[in-house]
Amino acid sequence: MSIFDLSIAAAAKALKAKEFSAVELTTAYNEAVAALNPRLNAYITVTPELALEQARAADSRIADGSATPLTGIPLAMKDLFCTESVRTTAGSSILEPFIPPYESTVSAKLKAAGAVMLGKANLDEFAMGSSNTTSHYGAVENPWKRLGSDAKLVPGGSSGGSAAAVAARIALAATGTDTGGSIRQPASFTGLAGIKPTYGRCSRWGVVAFASSLDQPGPMARNVEDNALLLNAMAGFDQKDSTSANREVPDFCLALGRGVKGLKIGIPREYRLEGTNPEILALWDKGIEWLKAQGADIVNISLPHTKYGLPVYYIVAPAEASSNLARYDGVRFGKRVDGEDLIDLYERTRAEGFGPEVKRRIMIGTYVLSHGYYDAYYLKAQKVRNLILRDFTDAFGSVDAILTPTAPSAAFGLDEKMDDPVTMYLNDVFTVPASLAGVPAMSVPAGLSAEGLPLGLQVIGRHFDEETVFAVSAAIESAAGFSALPELRAK
């Protein structure tokens, strides 16, 4: 087995046994990044020297017995997390010169655990996109290929750089953020496991904001166990974040072997959308049979307001984005384009600094918040959002978890859907409802399409019940036995 095929748990065991050092592991990954990143564009900024410095510190911790399960593990950090003294761009031209003087809470927790940062992963600009093609720093290429084709595919978005890096073995795992599916959908497109925790489980402090009531950091990794190890370190209450939940963080790894016997698994009829790829529905049916065979009870449920999820999301998220992105004005930090007066400076800076998708969402958000339209759009969307939350609350009165597809298709081509924003937005149709409700949800790789591309299943749980999500996800992972690998990867 190649060093690049080791999971976090296996690499941590090998580090402890002195089979190789953290410096040797990091050097291998640095070399893999140098070789493959020019093709994949998964990283915006690489930090090989910093990674080696952190690896040397990790070796010292391993030697003195103070190591954690993440000590010496090479990670990619989504370029939405502020990292002290390391450029943070959010995939945007307007933040190109920004070097934070502080560390985000999540990245600080991973650093404290001894993890090694290989670099800052590419993303859709300000996390706005479902394909990782809106980044100012260029599109990310999915390391997977269709059978018999060399066409470039998207890795999904917005955390596409993180997903591509882990799938291509140029990071052992990565951080992501999920606003409407930005961890789960790219995980599905690249054959990874990724979890959006309950809203408030991980601190948002130091994470560049898109939509504050939806954004939630989470991990992406090779398997379910690695996600549990990462979330153990990333989660926790943070006084600096007013939306952070003051809840005890359990050891999520303990849930992995619980099994699903006796659990009630909900199957929402509304997710069988007309026009969904039959392969997706067939995989969903297979997932139901896997859980049934392991002793779970399958319960048909209804989430009647699911059909309003996307319209609500594309009112609420742009509205919050238009407010959050007002701070990028060329005055305090980031790019500045001089003008004839202050207003002209604002206009020139924002016109040059933001890309087309960000401008589109700012315009939509400003419109729905404007006088005369606030009640008709934004206020009504918030009311429907409450109904979507109530659907989940009612469903979890009778089931322990919910199983759905993650995405309506496998990865698509880099040149497909680019000129049709509405079709692009439909990629989040299965992931958005859980985001609006704030419940935890995880994508698990469960099979391959007829074209040889990964497909994922989504497990949704009650608020702050990531443990059941992990238990069900581990059961699916075990039954699926997914072991396929992309051609473009470090070997």
At 442 the pLDDT is: 98
pLDDT for residue 417 is more than 80: no
The average pLDDT across 67-85 equals 98
pLDDT for residue 419 is more than 70: no
Domain ranges of the chain: 3-258
The average pLDDT across 386-415 equals 96
Which of 93, 158, 322, 443 is an active site residue?
A: 158
At 195 the pLDDT is: 98
Instruction: Render pLDDT for 448-474 as a digit per residue (tens, 0 to 9).
Output: 999 999 999 999 999 999 999 999 999
The CA distance from 393 to 387, in Å, is: 10
Q: Is the peptide bond before 130 cis (omega within 30 degrees of 0)?
A: no
The average pLDDT across 377-392 equals 97
At 343 the pLDDT is: 95
455 φ/ψ sector (left φ>0, alpha ψ -120 to 50, else beta): beta
Q: Assign 332 a pLDDT band (cuts: 50, 70, 90).
A: confident
Instruction: Render pLDDT for 241-272 as a digit per residue (tens, 0 to 9).
Output: 999 999 999 999 999 999 999 999 999 999 99
Instruction: Render pLDDT for 139-189 as a digit per residue (tens, 0 to 9).
Output: 999 999 999 999 999 999 999 999 999 999 999 999 999 999 999 999 999
Least confident of 115-124, 296-305, 407-416: 407-416
| Closest of 49, 35, 149, 22 to residue 490, by C-alpha | 35
Q: Is 417 a catalytic residue?
A: no
Is pTM, for the whole model, over 0.95? yes
| Closest of 467, 488, 459, 486 to residue 193, by C-alpha | 459
Q: Calculate what percentage of the chain has a pLDDT beyond 90.
A: 95
Q: Is 78 a catalytic residue?
A: yes
Instruction: Render pLDDT for 475-490 as a digit per residue (tens, 0 to 9).
Output: 999 999 999 999 999 9
At 274 the pLDDT is: 80
Give yes or no for a contact between 12 and 70, defined as CB atoms under 8 angstroms apart: yes
CA distances from 95 to 28, 118, 233, 350, 451 (A): 31, 20, 28, 11, 38
Q: Is 120 a catalytic residue?
A: no
The CA distance from 336 to 345, in Å, is: 8
At 420 the pLDDT is: 67
Instruction: Render pLDDT for 38-72 as a digit per residue (tens, 0 to 9).
Output: 999 999 999 999 999 999 999 999 999 999 999 99
At 273 the pLDDT is: 85
Give yes or no for a contact between 143 and 150, defined as CB atoms under 8 angstroms apart: no
Which of 21, 78, 104, 111 is an active site residue?
A: 78
The CA distance from 477 to 223, in Å, is: 8
What mean pLDDT value characterizes the chain? 96
Tokens linked to 281? 């529905």
Which of 221-225, 332-336, 427-431 reaches the highest mean pLDDT? 221-225
| Closest of 99, 112, 157 to residue 132, by C-alpha | 157
CATH code: domain 3-258 is 3.90.1300.10
Which of 182, 203, 322, 409 is an active site residue?
A: 182
